[in-house]
Structure 1
Amino acid sequence: MAASTHTVTNQVPPLVGYDVFGTDRVLSEAVARHAGPGQLDGIRTELTALGRAAGSAEVTEWGRRANEHPPVLRTHDRYGNRIDEVEFHPDWHRLLDGAVGAGLTDAWGRPAGHLRRAAGFFVWTQAEAGNGCPVSMTHAAVPALRAEPGLAAEWEPRLTSHRYEPGPRPAAAKAGALLGMGMTEKQGGSDIRANTTRAVPLDAAGEYLLTGHKWFCSAPMCDGFLVLAQAPGGLTCFLVPRVLDDGTRNVFRIQRLKDKLGNRSNASAEVEFDGTWARRVGEEGRGVRVIIGMVAATRLDCVLGSAALMRQAVAQAVHHATYRRAFGAELIDQPLMRNVLADLALESEAATTLALRLAAAYDADTEQERALLRLAVPAAKYWVTKRCTPLVAEALECLGGNGYVEESGLPRLLRESPLNSIWEGSGNVQALDVLRALQREPAALNAFLQEVGAARGADHRLDNAIKGLLTELADLSGIEARARRLVERMALVLQGSLLVRWAPPEVADAFCASRLGGDWGAAFGTLPHTLDLAAVVDRAGVGDPAVVDRARPAG
């Protein structure tokens, strides 16, 4: 009886076999917008290959298995020797090999290097987000290492290599290396100046022995780590190699791996240093200043990572609604579902557009663009990462009970979604960082106002929002308690300005009407019904259904 009645109809086929880059109109347009003369064809070629891989059934399975089989800590070998190794599923290594091979650790100094790398990071994160942690830190370590030119000359070619070589061997013996970091300690959290790890100088210049602990050490299988410790001259940055040049293991005791909500394919650890050999990066007492370049770059990757999760969630929701029928019609044609999908699509497009604009500012590297990044990165990191979790949850609901089932992939996105709001400083840390920049760096505010002002006069709702923001910025007394609201407004005005300039009119109109005009509810799906919502939703799909390797289901 069961076999004769078990006919599968009206089920949506998986979204696989498609080009994650080429079918994303918002991302493709952003890359074309910011690429310099003669750069676009090469970038498109690279990203198309990566996009097809990221959307393939094979890589989708890599991501699933890497998360279903999380890393395992092996503290000792069979003979009782301390080894402190982390064992990963083979698909984790395949994912990292794909990321490194695509140049996702290689941006500094390449033409349009940050643009192409940001777009690639955005694409590959949609296949699996956990491998983005070591990729991001390796990429971001480059500006920090440049504070010590000798170290940079030695390590930068390894970090920007397109070769992935796992395993505990001296970095000098590898064609490519990855770098992690360990900043946080038990007693301090985000207050890194409270760190207690000690650094004792050796006779050789620039060499130290470290003693202490790190409460969060990201990606402990890397070839080296940037850490902060208290040297005689104050808080200082150090490079700790995992394996010394003579092949012996440095003292790097992994006490345990964190049992995390999401990001389960990646390892995060508590580690102890006990006479651990390290090399100084920059001057003693200047550790925070040295590490700040790394922090800014990883914060941008938090924006990119959250925007990528949002894009994948929206793509899945629109795909489902395109093929699922209920009450006699496809879900995508039903007005209330269309409103929800359009609202999600707006949030995703605004996040993507902002993230790629900031990547382009890194490539421009002018005084004006550097000043813009000083304010825009923490503001974007605050807002985009905050919007990620409710968006993914709403996208999951679009699939109904199917979205709540692990096989859909949406639960994994949901568990991943809060991470970037915590990593590299929580929301309060970002908001306070924006306040510091406002109070101490007038050039940053000037650059920000010039950026949002480029769209003034194009939409009255944006103009009013800019005026309101200026009024709030005119009086910063007692601002700390309302810092989150201020930073939210800054991010929304910046997103609105970018969309008014670059997005199709229906997208810019819907964004300004809801996010800036006040006609928007607390939940997704409350856009004014008079807007062209069908056009907004259509833009968020994967394009022609023929590009996805599937047959339209019967029923």
Structure 2
Amino acid sequence: MPTHEVFNQVPPMVGHDVADDPALLDGLAREDAAWALPEVHELGLLAGTGQAQEWGRLANENPPVLRTHDRYGHRIDEVEFHPAWHELMSVAVTHGLHGAPWADDRPGAHVARAAKFYTWRVDAGHGCPISMTYAAVPALRQSPELADRYEPLLAKTEYDYGLRAPLTKNALLAGMSMTEKQGGSDVRANTTRATLQPDGTYTLVGHKFQPDGTYTLVGHKWFTSAPMCDLFLTLAQTDAGVTCFLVPRVLPDGTLNPLRLMRLKDKLGNKSNASSEVEYENAVAYRVGEEGRGVRTIIEMVNMTRLDCVIGAASGMRAGVTMAAHHAAHRRTFGRYLAEHALMRNVLADLSLESEAATVLMTRLAGATDRSVRGDASESAFKRLALAVSKYWVCKRWPSHAAESLECLGGNGYVEDSGMPRLFRESPLNSIWEGSGNVAALDILRAMAKEPETVEAFFTEVGLAAGADARLDDAVRRAKDALTDLGTIELRARRVAEQLALVLQGSLLVRHGHPAVADAFCATRLSGDWGVAFGTLPPGLDLTPLIDRATPKIP
């Protein structure tokens, strides 16, 4: 017999357009990608379906499994994924979230891709191979012969899963393999060794001989994500120093390249994505760029994946605040909806403010990326410093934002069914991936010292809002003053990064944001009337637009 009637529970957040995000849509129009609106909305409607959200849940609750050998004892080094993973990957690839922009000559192609990456947020794990494929192309172009061979397949909008010789497939995915256990971010401490095979000889690889003109790699990689990709950009030592190589999983004759998957990492989050340890047993590799200049060669790949770290963190913030706002709009407490209580409104508005500041910054960086790819030197200089600043700050802000968003749901947010725990577990990753907070902060100092034009380009961008808000003008002066004491600047590197990020976000919001959003940002983030926790906005601000812009519109 039923004991009670279930009521006052929040309906599922399905049936809405995830791309119905004012800050995102304004950014698309501003950064030359208004032509992509139909594509972005199409993907946003799919992301809002129950089916897509179920794919994300299933992919995470059924993580990948490593199969090192087949039933007969043959080495196969394969990873099995749940069918939901392949559904997610197929959507991402066919919508061009991977390498497609490199084959698209339209202005704003990289902005459109960033908007889609931001919108397709049902699962973060499968975004890893998508992001790495996108980022591999500029590094690969440093060896035109390799780029001519593989780049068209990296840009194809077809998901062709399976280990086969790369040039026999309809499309390819790429990964990167840099980190070693003794070095971490210090890739110059890597010990994986590359040996050039002399002309006119053949090298035994597996059970077959391979022709000359190649290198072979011996060593161990500590963190290689998405090991079922077709190609990997890998760092190894030669006599000239750290060098970049392209390593295929399958050789041209169809035999497996000896990349031995030793185990999969048991991670805090990102469960749907396989991250592995790999032994290279004389694996065949092709040099990319010059010997001894591997870090410089692969840095463009790193920068592109850092951009995706910012996009992913901004997307995660938007996901968290929309779930919190949806819950507050439907849950009643003490005779009113949660969203009608003054203190909850403060929390929701503050979460929305942080999300919009991240999104406006993300779209500006995507625009700078698009224009720098097309040869705009000033945009390249701006992106060099702004990307490092944004990678530090936006990714640092996400974990606390995710925790506060979860808390808006109370105990309901702490259980897996809500989706909030998965979001929370995902939130620290982007700050670690491609350089943790200290690495990002020190990269800011390196850019300022070695490329002073980046500082000029950065403050030229910030200065476009000069005189529009006195609070912003004061913050810019303080940020510039913080750069003058070079004796202590490394000790203060994180503080410098924070100040630069805030004045850049403030400038963008003052110029392009909703007036209520810009006012709240300047009143809190720039003028200091702001507590440590979210939900500490001062009286006198108009909170309604911030909350309305974060609440999903569900039919």
Bin the TM-score by the shorter chain: over 0.9
Count residues with an aligned counterpart. Answer: 537
Alpha-carbon offset, residue 250 of structure 1:
0.3
Q: Would the aligned equivalents of 1:113 and 1:363 in 2 still touch at CA under 8 Å?
A: yes
1:120 aligns to 2:116 (yes or no)? yes
* 2: CA distance, partners of 1:432 / 1:210: 31
**Aligned partner (choices 306, 330, 339) of residue 337 of structure 2:** 330
Matches within 5 A, 1:183-332: 183-204=178-199, 207-332=214-339
- Find the counterpart in structure 1 of residue 76 from structure 2: 83
CA shift digits 1:495-517 (9 cap, x unpaired): 00000000111100000100001
Matches within 5 A, 1:402-413: 402-413=412-423
CA shift digits 1:385-407 (9 cap, x unpaired): 00000001000000011100100
**Aligned partner (choices 50, 63, 69) of residue 62 of structure 2:** 69
Q: Would the aligned equivalents of 2:156 and 2:171 in 1 still touch at CA under 8 Å?
A: yes
Residue identity matched to 2:139? A
* 2: CA distance, partners of 1:367 / 1:337: 46
Residue identity matched to 2:228? M
- Find the counterpart in structure 2 of residue 50 from structure 1: 43
Alpha-carbon offset, residue 530 of structure 1:
1.1
1:424 aligns to 2:434 (yes or no)? yes
SS of 2:229 mapped into structure 1: coil
- Find the counterpart in structure 2 of residue 102 from structure 1: 95
* 2: CA distance, partners of 1:356 / 1:266: 26
Residue identity matched to 1:184? T
TM-score of the aligned structures, taking structure 2 as reference length: 0.96
SS of 2:8 mapped into structure 1: coil
**Aligned partner (choices 8, 28, 31) of residue 28 of structure 2:** 31
CA shift digits 1:181-201 (9 cap, x unpaired): 110001000000000000000
Q: Would the aligned equivalents of 1:104 and 1:121 in 2 still touch at CA under 8 Å?
A: yes
SS of 2:498 mapped into structure 1: helix
Residue identity matched to 2:144? P
SS of 1:283 mapped into structure 2: coil
* 2: CA distance, partners of 1:81 / 1:29: 54
Higher mean C-alpha displacement, 26-35 vs 88-97: 26-35
* 1: CA distance, partners of 2:41 / 2:65: 34
1:352 aligns to 2:362 (yes or no)? no
* 2: CA distance, partners of 1:489 / 1:45: 37
- Find the counterpart in structure 1 of residue 208 from structure 2: none
Residue identity matched to 1:121? F
* 1: CA distance, partners of 2:510 / 2:486: 28
Alpha-carbon offset, residue 40 of structure 1:
2.1
* 1: CA distance, partners of 2:499 / 2:550: 25
Alpha-carbon offset, residue 6 of structure 1:
2.5
Q: Would the aligned equivalents of 2:483 and 2:489 in 1 still touch at CA under 8 Å?
A: no
Q: Would the aligned equivalents of 2:103 and 2:155 in 1 still touch at CA under 8 Å?
A: no
* 2: CA distance, partners of 1:121 / 1:267: 20
* 1: CA distance, partners of 2:62 / 2:326: 28
Matches within 5 A, 1:379-418: 379-418=389-428
- Find the counterpart in structure 2 of residue 8 from structure 1: 6
Alpha-carbon offset, residue 478 of structure 1:
2.2
**Aligned partner (choices 502, 521, 526) of residue 511 of structure 1:** 521
For structure 1, the residue ranges without an aligned partner over 5 or more in a row are 547-555
**Aligned partner (choices 6, 18, 21) of residue 20 of structure 1:** 18
- Find the counterpart in structure 2 of residue 553 from structure 1: none
* 2: CA distance, partners of 1:409 / 1:92: 17
1:153 aligns to 2:151 (yes or no)? no
Q: Would the aligned equivalents of 2:103 and 2:152 in 1 still touch at CA under 8 Å?
A: no
SS of 2:491 mapped into structure 1: helix
- Find the counterpart in structure 1 of residue 177 from structure 2: 182
1:537 aligns to 2:531 (yes or no)? no
Residue identity matched to 1:73? L
* 1: CA distance, partners of 2:364 / 2:214: 40
Q: Would the aligned equivalents of 1:206 and 1:280 in 2 still touch at CA under 8 Å?
A: no
* 2: CA distance, partners of 1:82 / 1:477: 56
Alpha-carbon offset, residue 206 of structure 1:
5.1
Structure 1 residue ranges, 4+ long, deviating more than 6 angstroms after superposition? none
CA shift digits 1:443-469 (9 cap, x unpaired): 100000001010010111100000001
Residue identity matched to 2:338? L
Residue identity matched to 1:51? G
Q: Aligned-residue CA RMSD in angstroms?
A: 0.9
- Find the counterpart in structure 2 of residue 475 from structure 1: 485
* 1: CA distance, partners of 2:218 / 2:432: 27
- Find the counterpart in structure 1 of residue 130 from structure 2: 135
- Find the counterpart in structure 2 of residue 462 from structure 1: 472
For structure 2, the residue ranges without an aligned partner over 5 or more in a row are 200-211
What is the percent sequence identity of the aligned residues?
Answer: 61
- Find the counterpart in structure 2 of residue 551 from structure 1: none
Q: Would the aligned equivalents of 1:239 and 1:280 in 2 still touch at CA under 8 Å?
A: yes
* 1: CA distance, partners of 2:103 / 2:509: 29
Residue identity matched to 2:124? A
Alpha-carbon offset, residue 475 of structure 1:
2.3
Matches within 5 A, 1:372-383: 372-383=382-393
- Find the counterpart in structure 1 of residue 203 from structure 2: none
Alpha-carbon offset, residue 108 of structure 1:
2.2
* 2: CA distance, partners of 1:195 / 1:310: 35
* 1: CA distance, partners of 2:198 / 2:143: 18
Q: Would the aligned equivalents of 1:182 and 1:216 in 2 still touch at CA under 8 Å?
A: yes
**Aligned partner (choices 516, 524, 529) of residue 534 of structure 2:** 524
Alpha-carbon offset, residue 542 of structure 1:
1.7
**Aligned partner (choices 327, 343, 348) of residue 341 of structure 1:** 348
* 1: CA distance, partners of 2:168 / 2:299: 29
CA shift digits 1:41-71 (9 cap, x unpaired): 4x01111111111111101000000000000
Alpha-carbon offset, residue 251 of structure 1:
0.3
SS of 2:113 mapped into structure 1: helix
Are the structure 2 counterparts of residues 16 and 206 from structure 1 closer, same or farther at C-alpha, using a change threshold of 3 Å?
farther
